[in-house]
Amino acid sequence: MDILTGMRVSSSGMAAQRTRMNTISSNIANINTTRTPEGGPYRRKDVILESMPEAKSFGEILTSAPQKDVQRVQVTDVLVDRRAPLMKYEPDHPDADESGYVAYPNINLMEEMANMIQATRSYEANVAAMNATKDMAMTSLEIGR
Protein backbone atom coordinates (compact mmCIF):
# COMPACT_ATOMS: atom_id res chain seq x y z
CA MET A 1 0.00 0.00 0.00
CA ASP A 2 1.39 3.40 -0.92
CA ILE A 3 1.34 6.56 1.20
CA LEU A 4 -1.57 8.21 -0.60
CA THR A 5 -3.73 5.11 -0.22
CA GLY A 6 -3.03 5.06 3.51
CA MET A 7 -4.04 8.70 3.77
CA ARG A 8 -7.25 8.14 1.77
CA VAL A 9 -8.23 5.20 3.99
CA SER A 10 -7.57 7.20 7.17
CA SER A 11 -9.45 10.23 5.86
CA SER A 12 -12.47 8.07 4.97
CA GLY A 13 -12.50 6.80 8.54
CA MET A 14 -12.30 10.33 9.93
CA ALA A 15 -15.17 11.49 7.70
CA ALA A 16 -17.33 8.52 8.72
CA GLN A 17 -16.69 9.08 12.43
CA ARG A 18 -17.43 12.80 12.06
CA THR A 19 -20.83 11.94 10.56
CA ARG A 20 -21.40 9.46 13.35
CA MET A 21 -20.47 12.04 16.00
CA ASN A 22 -22.84 14.61 14.46
CA THR A 23 -25.68 12.08 14.54
CA ILE A 24 -24.97 11.15 18.16
CA SER A 25 -24.88 14.84 19.10
CA SER A 26 -28.26 15.33 17.43
CA ASN A 27 -29.68 12.42 19.43
CA ILE A 28 -28.41 13.88 22.71
CA ALA A 29 -29.59 17.39 21.86
CA ASN A 30 -33.10 16.14 21.14
CA ILE A 31 -33.46 13.81 24.11
CA ASN A 32 -36.49 15.77 25.38
CA THR A 33 -37.99 16.87 22.03
CA THR A 34 -41.66 15.94 22.04
CA ARG A 35 -42.72 17.70 18.85
CA THR A 36 -41.08 17.55 15.40
CA PRO A 37 -42.17 18.83 11.96
CA GLU A 38 -42.93 15.20 11.00
CA GLY A 39 -45.20 14.88 14.02
CA GLY A 40 -44.60 13.13 17.31
CA PRO A 41 -41.38 12.94 19.30
CA TYR A 42 -37.88 13.04 17.87
CA ARG A 43 -36.70 9.65 16.58
CA ARG A 44 -33.19 8.45 17.42
CA LYS A 45 -30.89 8.14 14.41
CA ASP A 46 -28.06 5.67 13.86
CA VAL A 47 -25.32 5.73 11.20
CA ILE A 48 -24.63 2.63 9.10
CA LEU A 49 -21.00 2.20 8.04
CA GLU A 50 -19.79 -0.15 5.32
CA SER A 51 -16.35 -1.15 4.10
CA MET A 52 -15.73 -0.42 0.43
CA PRO A 53 -12.81 -1.22 -1.87
CA GLU A 54 -10.28 1.61 -1.95
CA ALA A 55 -11.24 4.08 -4.69
CA LYS A 56 -8.45 5.19 -6.97
CA SER A 57 -8.14 7.55 -9.87
CA PHE A 58 -8.45 6.09 -13.36
CA GLY A 59 -4.69 6.36 -13.96
CA GLU A 60 -3.90 4.55 -10.70
CA ILE A 61 -6.28 1.74 -11.62
CA LEU A 62 -4.53 1.22 -14.96
CA THR A 63 -0.97 1.30 -13.60
CA SER A 64 -1.22 -0.56 -10.29
CA ALA A 65 -2.02 -4.09 -9.21
CA PRO A 66 -5.43 -4.52 -7.59
CA GLN A 67 -5.41 -4.43 -3.78
CA LYS A 68 -8.39 -6.38 -2.58
CA ASP A 69 -7.26 -6.27 1.05
CA VAL A 70 -7.36 -2.44 1.32
CA GLN A 71 -10.78 -1.21 2.37
CA ARG A 72 -12.07 2.25 3.19
CA VAL A 73 -15.17 3.05 5.20
CA GLN A 74 -18.23 4.85 3.92
CA VAL A 75 -21.49 6.01 5.48
CA THR A 76 -24.18 4.15 3.57
CA ASP A 77 -27.29 5.18 5.48
CA VAL A 78 -28.67 6.96 8.52
CA LEU A 79 -31.45 4.82 10.00
CA VAL A 80 -34.30 6.23 12.03
CA ASP A 81 -35.14 4.17 15.12
CA ARG A 82 -38.70 2.86 15.00
CA ARG A 83 -38.97 1.81 18.65
CA ALA A 84 -42.03 3.02 20.52
CA PRO A 85 -41.57 6.35 22.32
CA LEU A 86 -41.37 6.54 26.10
CA MET A 87 -44.71 7.54 27.60
CA LYS A 88 -44.61 9.70 30.74
CA TYR A 89 -47.60 10.93 32.68
CA GLU A 90 -47.51 14.75 32.59
CA PRO A 91 -51.07 16.05 32.26
CA ASP A 92 -49.95 19.72 32.32
CA HIS A 93 -47.55 19.34 29.37
CA PRO A 94 -48.75 21.03 26.14
CA ASP A 95 -48.07 17.83 24.14
CA ALA A 96 -49.96 15.51 26.50
CA ASP A 97 -52.60 13.28 24.93
CA GLU A 98 -56.18 13.05 26.22
CA SER A 99 -55.13 10.65 29.00
CA GLY A 100 -52.28 12.94 30.18
CA TYR A 101 -49.32 11.02 28.70
CA VAL A 102 -46.49 12.68 26.76
CA ALA A 103 -44.46 10.76 24.16
CA TYR A 104 -40.71 11.29 24.66
CA PRO A 105 -37.91 10.02 22.38
CA ASN A 106 -36.68 6.54 23.23
CA ILE A 107 -33.06 7.65 23.71
CA ASN A 108 -30.75 6.20 26.37
CA LEU A 109 -28.24 8.88 27.37
CA MET A 110 -25.69 6.33 28.63
CA GLU A 111 -25.83 4.43 25.33
CA GLU A 112 -25.34 7.67 23.39
CA MET A 113 -22.39 8.68 25.58
CA ALA A 114 -20.77 5.25 25.07
CA ASN A 115 -21.28 5.60 21.31
CA MET A 116 -19.77 9.09 21.44
CA ILE A 117 -16.67 7.81 23.26
CA GLN A 118 -16.31 5.02 20.70
CA ALA A 119 -16.64 7.46 17.78
CA THR A 120 -14.10 9.81 19.39
CA ARG A 121 -11.58 6.99 19.91
CA SER A 122 -12.04 5.78 16.33
CA TYR A 123 -11.52 9.30 15.02
CA GLU A 124 -8.37 9.66 17.15
CA ALA A 125 -7.04 6.33 15.85
CA ASN A 126 -7.52 7.51 12.26
CA VAL A 127 -5.74 10.80 13.07
CA ALA A 128 -2.83 8.82 14.54
CA ALA A 129 -2.66 6.62 11.43
CA MET A 130 -2.75 9.72 9.21
CA ASN A 131 0.08 11.31 11.22
CA ALA A 132 2.15 8.12 11.05
CA THR A 133 1.69 8.01 7.28
CA LYS A 134 2.66 11.68 7.01
CA ASP A 135 5.76 11.05 9.15
CA MET A 136 6.77 8.14 6.91
CA ALA A 137 6.42 10.36 3.85
CA MET A 138 8.50 13.11 5.44
CA THR A 139 11.18 10.60 6.51
CA SER A 140 11.39 9.17 2.99
CA LEU A 141 11.89 12.69 1.64
CA GLU A 142 14.69 13.27 4.19
CA ILE A 143 16.49 10.14 2.97
CA GLY A 144 16.73 11.63 -0.51
CA ARG A 145 18.79 14.60 0.71
Helix (H) or strand (E) holding 77: strand 71-80
- Rounded Cα gap, residues 33 and 145, in angstroms: 61
pTM given for the model:
0.82
Tell me the average pLDDT across 28-53.
Answer: 93
85-109 pLDDT, tens digit per residue, is 999 999 999 999 999 999 999 999 9
Its sign, for the CA torsion 4, 124, 79, 40, is negative
Q: Where are the domains of the chain?
A: 3-143
113-126 pLDDT, tens digit per residue, is 999 999 999 999 99
What pLDDT does 137 receive? 87
